């Protein structure tokens, strides 16, 4: 049986070195490359054709969520495991929508990391226990309001942005929370106003609160 070929993507050399040392212990795995930025992991994924990618989120040039999205557009079959410090609901949801098959925190124990890699490589999905609980709670919270009335016509991303608007977040803050560019956020807001047939954020917020958001 051939070894699982793993590509590591993290902008912290010390953390990559620790992860590399951990994976070397397992005879079934081999690290074929290390990337320190989003742009770099996109290029290396194309060149090396790894069996699995371990992806951090906060990296220079291109964040891990966007890198995941671009890699899977080119090669939809490569499994990607997110390993990060971020555990907020919108970031987890964004990573899953981008196509990641697992999401674990950097504080995970070595055995949990190895098990997560093997589950994702085998075609499964896995989350750190903390993430699994938050993920369930997150969708339980957004399901009722987001599926009612006029909001039903909004996409999942648009509903997320509307929720954040209703909570008082400005465009720049929304971009940071959802790991999007400011221009992308502006485009989504334009679509939200059009679909809700309102002229400004104030009216959009009113409709969102009527549906139980914010």
Residue 194 maps to a domain: yes
Residue 141 maps to a domain: no
31: three-class secondary structure by DSSP: strand
Give the residue carrying structure tokens 């949990």: 112
Candidates 96, 41, 98; CA nearest to 73 is 98
Instruction: State whether 73 and 128 are in the same domain.
Output: yes
Domain boundary among 134, 162, 189: 134
User: For the domain that residue 182 is a member of, what is the CATH number?
Assistant: 1.10.10.10
pLDDT at 146: 42
Spatial distance between the Cα atoms of 191 and 185, rounded to a whole number of angstroms: 10
Residue 38 maps to a domain: yes
Q: Which residues of the chain have pLDDT under 50?
A: 143-148
Instruction: State whether 62 and 102 are in the same domain.
Output: yes
User: For the domain that residue 94 is a member of, what is the CATH number?
Assistant: 3.40.50.2300
- Domain span holding position 27: 4-134
pLDDT at 130: 75
Residue 139 maps to a domain: no
Instruction: State whether 47 and 102 are in the same domain.
Output: yes
Instruction: State whether 119 and 24 are in the same domain.
Output: yes
Instruction: State whether 165 and 118 are in the same domain.
Output: no
Residue 142 maps to a domain: no
DSSP for 115-153? HHHHHHHTT--EE-HHHHHHHHHHHHHHHHHHTSGGGGG
pLDDT at 145: 42
Residue 108 maps to a domain: yes
Question: What strands, in cross-sheet order, belong to the sheet with 80-84?
Answer: 29-35, 4-9, 52-55, 80-84, 102-105, 126-127
pLDDT at 19: 95
DSSP for 180-207? --HHHHHHHHHHHHHHHT-SSHHHHHHH
Domain boundary among 78, 111, 134: 134
């Amino acid at each position: 049986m051939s070894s699982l070929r793993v590509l590591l993507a993290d902008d912290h050399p010390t953390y990559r070195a620790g992860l590399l040392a951990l994976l070397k212990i397992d005879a079934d795995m081999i690290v074929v490359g290390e990337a320190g930025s989003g742009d770099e992991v996109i290029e290396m994924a194309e060149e090396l054709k790894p069996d699995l990618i371990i992806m951090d989120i906060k990296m220079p040039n291109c964040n891990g969520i966007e890198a995941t999205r671009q890699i899977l557009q080119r090669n939809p079959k490569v499994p990607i495991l997110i390993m990060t410090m971020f555990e907020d609901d919108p970031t987890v949801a964004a990573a899953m929508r981008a196509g990641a098959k697992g999401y674990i925190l950097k504080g995970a124990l070595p055995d949990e990391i190895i098990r997560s890699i093997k589950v994702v490589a085998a075609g499964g999905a896995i989350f750190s226990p903390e993430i699994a609980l938050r993920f369930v709670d997150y969708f339980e919270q957004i399901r009722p309001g987001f599926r009612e009335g006029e909001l039903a016509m909004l996409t999942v991303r648009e509903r997320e942005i509307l929720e954040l608007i209703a909570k008082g977040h400005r465009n720049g803050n929304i971009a940071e929370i959802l790991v999007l560019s400011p221009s992308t956020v502006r485009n989504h807001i334009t679509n939200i106003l059009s679909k809700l047939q309102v002229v400004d954020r104030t009216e959009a917020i009113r409709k969102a609160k009527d549906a139980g958001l914010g």
